[in-house]
């Protein structure tokens, strides 16, 4: 494991997140991972922050609502099959870790584990969350992104660790 500066690798991280990354969250005995393609990395409230968006219809939503943290594992190798599976199948019906042969590793500073893969790993402590208010959403976005009206909740995670696995 090699610790890295979260902003020094932000461009690389965002380029891969657009393709897909794993958001993993644990609360008590509940554990799930899902594919994300949206996130932001920056500096808010004088803290390093990663913001992720989770639709209220997702199984991960029920877990992250009870969690105090999350991890984002960004693969540096081709994991398109696993990302597709974890983005299209529900953790309510499948054990994604078993189905995709995803190995977990304990988080260094959070309760949620990482997916043990080559790539970047962000560990984040949830410091704020906010359900989207569609009244403030441009109608073009709403029609394209939310035809079913299942809006996202935004989770702001203070980045408490960032590292690379080879």
Where do the domains of the chain lie, and which CATH numbers do they carry? 2-165 (2.30.110.10)
pLDDT in the model for residue 134: 79
> Distance between CA 70 and CA 86 in Å, rounded?
16
Of all residues in the chain, the percent with pLDDT exceeding 90 is 86
* pLDDT 10s digits, 128-158: 999 988 777 777 777 788 788 888 899 999 9
* pLDDT 10s digits, 13-62: 999 999 999 999 999 999 999 999 999 999 999 999 999 999 999 999 99
Average pLDDT, the chain: 95
How many other C-beta atoms lie within 10 A of the C-beta of residue 14?
A: 14
Calculated CA dihedral for residues 90, 23, 108, 98, nearest 10 degrees: 30
How far lies 13's CA from each of 18, 74, 118, 125, 150, in Å?
A: 9, 7, 13, 18, 27
pLDDT in the model for residue 75: 98
């Amino acid at each position: 494991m090699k610790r890295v500066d979260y902003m020094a690798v932000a461009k690389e991280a965002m380029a891969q997140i657009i393709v897909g990354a794993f958001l993993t969250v644990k609360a008590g005995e509940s554990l799930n991972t899902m594919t994300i393609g949206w996130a932001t990395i920056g500096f808010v409230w004088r803290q390093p922050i990663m913001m992720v968006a989770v639709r209220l219809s997702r199984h991960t939503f029920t877990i992250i609502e009870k969690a105090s943290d999350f991890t984002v594992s960004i693969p540096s190798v081709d994991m398109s099959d696993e990302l597709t599976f974890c983005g299209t199948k529900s953790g309510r019906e499948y054990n994604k870790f078993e189905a995709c042969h995803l190995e977990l590793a304990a988080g260094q500073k959070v309760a949620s584990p990482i997916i043990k893969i080559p790539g970047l790993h962000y560990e984040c402590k949830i410091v704020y969350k906010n359900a989207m208010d569609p009244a403030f959403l441009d109608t073009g976005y709403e029609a394209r992104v939310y035809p079913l009206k299942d809006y996202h909740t935004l989770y702001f995670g203070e980045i408490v660790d960032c590292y690379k696995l080879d």
